[in-house]
Amino acid sequence: MKSHLILTLVFLSIQFCMAQKSARLDSLYSSIEYEQAIELGREMLVNVPTDPTVNHILGRALADTKKYSEAKPYLLQSADSESPEWMQAWSYAYLGICEYISDNKVDSKVYLEKTLALNATKNSNNFAQNHLNWFQMTEYFEDWQVVEKEHIRFYFQPNHGIENLNEYCDTRENAYQINNQFFEAEPYKKIDYFVWSKPKDAIKIVGKNLGFADSDLCKINSSINQTIGHEMTHILCDFGMKPTNRNRLINEGVAVAFDLSHSDKMKAAIRTNTENLGIKDINERAEELPEAYIYPVGGAFIEYLLKNFGDEKLKSLLRDQSWNHLIELYGTEVLAEFDKKIKS
């Protein structure tokens, strides 16, 4: 009798401790303290390896910190049919993201559609539908022509009118490889490159003017005749340089400098700089000045720094694009020399 009582008390004590840890785990995740949630979740699974709630929170925290491959087994555990439907729905939704980042687009779509089929909660439905839209995996894109290359998967809107698709794709695949000699990037998936023959349709469907890149999704939306290197440079720079500080003038300037258009970028900057601004003034006003001003001046500036001072300094600037770091690397005299070139 006494031993039975002791066992009961031990069991209740363990249950109480687990309940406290579960509440703490949920609180950490809700507070976006993902790393601490991951640490606690791993600790808890030592004692309860199949607990659906712990697996669910741990899987989501790992996915939210871009540890997608690590997240999958935990999300699969929490997607089990014995779990509550809301948990299954969110587990499938997050698995959809993990599979997309792993370049398993078919599985990604299956999981996101499973979330919608469960119809467990309004929020999980919206989350899944939004990601189907962002991943461009809706019915609208089903009749787009697909061409696969080593680093890029191309999608062409119907009636594109491009005579030689293979040549079109090879040109951009070659541009990727040329530019990546500098950036040495290793994106976690192929770039999904959507080529729109009707740019106005893009505004209706994806909600933005062409062209643009999304590094998190390794995705580009482009018009047919856009410069071949610009948008892919954004992705290569993000994965290769991993910027800690971003600056619009530098960030857009590097994409223009590596657009492979072979245009005279200094001439374009001089023509653009009608206000006779210096590079410091342009940088300070970078958020308010239009693209038509920032792009040519930024492109000429990056090209000037690269040609005159080499790869390593520019790579350092791209990692930390702050004004102070720019001055540390190049000094005020270099900027003054550039100002003389762009002022008429």
For residues 145 and 129, state if they share a domain: no
Has residue 9 been placed in a domain?
no
Has residue 8 been placed in a domain?
no
Which residue, 186, 211, 240, sits at the end of a domain?
A: 240
Residue-range definition of the domain harbouring residue 188: 140-240
For residues 88 and 192, state if they share a domain: no
For residues 250 and 336, state if they share a domain: yes
Find all residues with CB under 8 Å of 181, minimum gap 6, and list them.
none
Has residue 7 been placed in a domain?
no
Cα Rg, the chain, nearest whole Å:
25
With 0-12 / 13-18 / 19 or more C-beta atoms within 10 angstroms meaning exposed / middle / buried, residue 223 is middle
Has residue 221 been placed in a domain?
yes
For residues 129 and 152, state if they share a domain: no
User: Is residue 317 a contact partner of residue 329, using CB atoms and an 8 Å limit?
Assistant: yes
pLDDT truncated to tens, each residue of the chain (344 aa)? Answer: 555 545 444 444 444 455 566 788 888 898 889 999 999 989 988 888 889 999 999 999 999 999 999 999 999 999 987 889 999 999 999 999 999 999 999 999 999 999 999 999 999 999 999 999 999 999 999 999 999 999 999 999 999 989 999 999 999 999 999 999 999 999 999 999 999 999 999 999 998 899 999 999 999 999 999 999 999 999 999 999 999 999 999 999 999 999 999 999 999 999 999 889 899 999 999 899 999 999 999 999 999 999 999 999 999 999 999 999 999 999 999 999 999 999 86
Has residue 173 been placed in a domain?
yes
User: Is residue 21 a contact partner of residue 52, using CB atoms and an 8 Å limit?
Assistant: no
For residues 21 and 131, state if they share a domain: yes
Three-state DSSP class for 180? helix
For residues 196 and 178, state if they share a domain: yes
Which residue, 224, 240, 256, sits at the end of a domain?
A: 240
The whole-model pTM stands at 0.87
Has residue 45 been placed in a domain?
yes
Has residue 162 been placed in a domain?
yes
Starting at the earlier edge strand, list the strands of the sheet with 152-156.
145-148, 152-156, 191-196, 219-223, 212-214
CATH number at residue 86: 1.25.40.10
User: Is residue 29 a contact partner of residue 58, using CB atoms and an 8 Å limit?
Assistant: no
Has residue 5 been placed in a domain?
no
- CA atoms of 2 and 262, how far apart (whole Å): 87
How many domains does the chain fold into?
A: 3
For residues 183 and 288, state if they share a domain: no
| pLDDT for the residue 22 | 78
For residues 34 and 146, state if they share a domain: no
For residues 234 and 257, state if they share a domain: no
For residues 152 and 212, state if they share a domain: yes
Which residue, 135, 162, 178, sits at the end of a domain?
A: 135
For residues 112 and 148, state if they share a domain: no
- CA atoms of 53 and 210, how far apart (whole Å): 42
> Residue 253 corresponds to which amino acid?
G
For residues 233 and 298, state if they share a domain: no
Q: Which two tokens stand for residue 263?
A: 């245009």
CATH number at residue 148: 3.40.30.160
